[in-house]
């Protein structure tokens, strides 16, 4: 018996070439769906941005024989999720989460299944209003089909960025970052905010004019007088004057370092290789910090010559070039030079120094 290719183009895209009997080829050539679907289009209605909405597809095997469902999904983004329910079954087989991976589910004749679909609008990272999508369903012996859905999302404004990354800052730097709140589905709204919270964070909003954009507010977030050292994340939930509108959510992140720092972390001199000079950069990040009381004589007392000093912008950084005046020794040396700073919070900088040992003639 000769077998004929029986899939349409849509089925080929799902499965590749599959052979089938002449009896089967006729119904499949007509693209007869192996599942009845209710509703044909899942209308999730109107939902406010940031909220979830859900619906149910009810499907039934109408082929008159067992039907092998190979896969349901994958889903287009992390904003959607779904669970499969098999009402005629019990235990672990009755309900499972769909992840778009191989399923290999065999439905009995006339067996029904439900797909519980959820749309989480808070997962969108760009302004979203009307959204439509589909879920592919793949079979072993039939052309694939799709389950379609749509939702009207009320997104009155967009926020950019969602996360304000301040990077590395000093614990007392008083660093600031900004985010923009721009009208999207709403012509006008108010966002008049100016406060200092319990942790000392300052938040201010300013109405600004942006060419080609609707009502726009610039939010400015300023760190407290002092932060604990290490990584930080501060989440803000702010509200406009729009009734029923979602809140403005912004996170501010960064890494707080000591106000006084230096680089490199260790100075290395190698007299045998004529490496007698090294450069040290000292930085003071504190808002009211200054390097004017830095006592560099500590290097001179330890046997180094200061050959160059260059002040950075606003007196917040200083480049010092040092020259080692000693000779190479058999053992070399590791030492820590304590430099008085005049800063009440960090009165000493302890700078590690290595003098490489003397090497024999080659």
pTM over 0.75: no
Q: How far apart are CA 179 and CA 41, in angstroms?
A: 38
Instruction: State the total domains in the chain.
Output: 3
180 and 116 in a common domain: no
Residues 139 and 39 in one domain: yes
264-289 confidence digits (pLDDT tens): 999 999 999 999 999 999 999 999 88
**Of the residues 154, 187, 204, the one at which a domain ends:** 154
pLDDT at 31: 60
Which pLDDT score is estimated for 17? 34
Q: Are residues 56 and 99 in the same domain?
A: yes
**Per-residue model confidence (pLDDT) at position 237:** 95
Same domain, 310 and 219: no
Instruction: Kindly state whether residues 85 and 101 are assigned to the same domain.
Output: yes
144 and 56 in one domain? yes
362 part of a folded domain: no
Low-confidence ranges of the chain (pLDDT < 50): 1-30, 362
The residue assigned the tokens 């007299």 is: 271
137 in the same domain as 49:
yes
Let me know whether 67 and 167 are in one domain.
no
Give yes or no: residues 134 and 46 share one domain.
yes
DSSP 147-201: EEEEEEEE--EEEE-SEEEEEEEETTS--EEEEEEEESS-S------EEE-TTS-
The CATH number of the domain holding residue 334 is: 2.60.40.10
Which of 198, 231, 257 is the last residue in one of the domains?
257
Please report which residue ranges of 219-360 form alpha helices under DSSP H.
297-301
Domain boundary among 154, 182, 201: 154
Claim to verify: residue 120 and residue 60 sit in the same structural domain: yes
Residue 228 lies in a domain: yes
Domain that holds residue 61: 27-154
**What would the DSSP string read from start to end of 90-112?**
-GGGSEEEE-SSEEEEEEPTT-E
Question: Is residue 2 in some structural domain?
Answer: no
Identify whether residues 146 and 168 lie together within a single domain: no
User: Do the domain assignments include residue 17?
Assistant: no
Opening angle at CA 280, ends 279 and 286, nearest 5: 155
pLDDT tens digits, one per residue of 338-357? 999 999 999 999 999 999 99
Residue 18 belongs to a domain: no
What pLDDT does residue 77 have? 78
The DSSP call for residue 51 is: -
């Amino acid at each position: 018996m000769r077998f004929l290719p029986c899939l349409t183009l849509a089925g080929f895209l799902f499965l590749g070439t599959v052979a089938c009997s002449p009896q089967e080829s006729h119904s499949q050539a007509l693209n007869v769906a192996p599942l009845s679907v209710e509703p044909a289009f899942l209308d999730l209605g109107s939902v406010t941005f940031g909220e979830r909405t859900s619906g149910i597809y009810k499907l039934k095997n109408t082929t008159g024989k067992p039907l092998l469902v190979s896969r349901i999904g994958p889903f287009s983004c992390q904003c959607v999720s779904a669970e499969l329910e098999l009402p005629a079954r019990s235990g672990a087989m009755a309900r499972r989460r769909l992840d778009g991976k191989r399923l290999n589910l065999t439905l009995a004749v006339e067996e029904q299944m439900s797909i519980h679909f959820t749309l989480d609008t808070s997962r969108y990272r760009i302004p979203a209003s009307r959204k439509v999508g589909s879920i592919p369903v793949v079979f072993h012996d039939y052309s694939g089909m799709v389950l379609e859905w749509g939702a009207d999302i009320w997104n009155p404004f967009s926020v950019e960025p969602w996360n304000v990354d301040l990077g590395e800052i000093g614990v007392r730097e008083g660093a600031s970052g900004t985010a923009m709140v721009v009208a999207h589905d709403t012509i006008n709204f108010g966002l008049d905010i100016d406060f200092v919270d319990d942790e000392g964070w300052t938040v201010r909003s300013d109405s600004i004019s942006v060419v080609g954009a609707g009502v726009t507010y610039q939010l400015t977030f300023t760190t407290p007088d002092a932060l604990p050292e290490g990584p930080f994340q501060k989440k803000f939930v702010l509200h406009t004057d729009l009734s029923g509108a979602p809140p403005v959510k912004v996170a501010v992140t960064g890494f707080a370092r000591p106000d006084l720092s230096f680089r490199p972390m260790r100075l290395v001199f190698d007299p045998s290789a004529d490496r007698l000079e090294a450069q040290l950069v000292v930085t003071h990040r504190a808002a009211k910090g200054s390097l004017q009381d830095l006592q560099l004589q500590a290097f001179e007392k330890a046997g180094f010559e200061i050959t160059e000093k260059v002040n950075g912008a606003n007196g917040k950084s200083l480049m010092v070039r040092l020259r080692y005046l000693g000779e190479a020794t058999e053992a070399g040396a590791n030492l820590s030079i304590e430099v008085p700073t005049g800063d009440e919070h960090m009165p000493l900088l302890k700078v590690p120094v290595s003098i490489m040992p003397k090497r024999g003639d080659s």
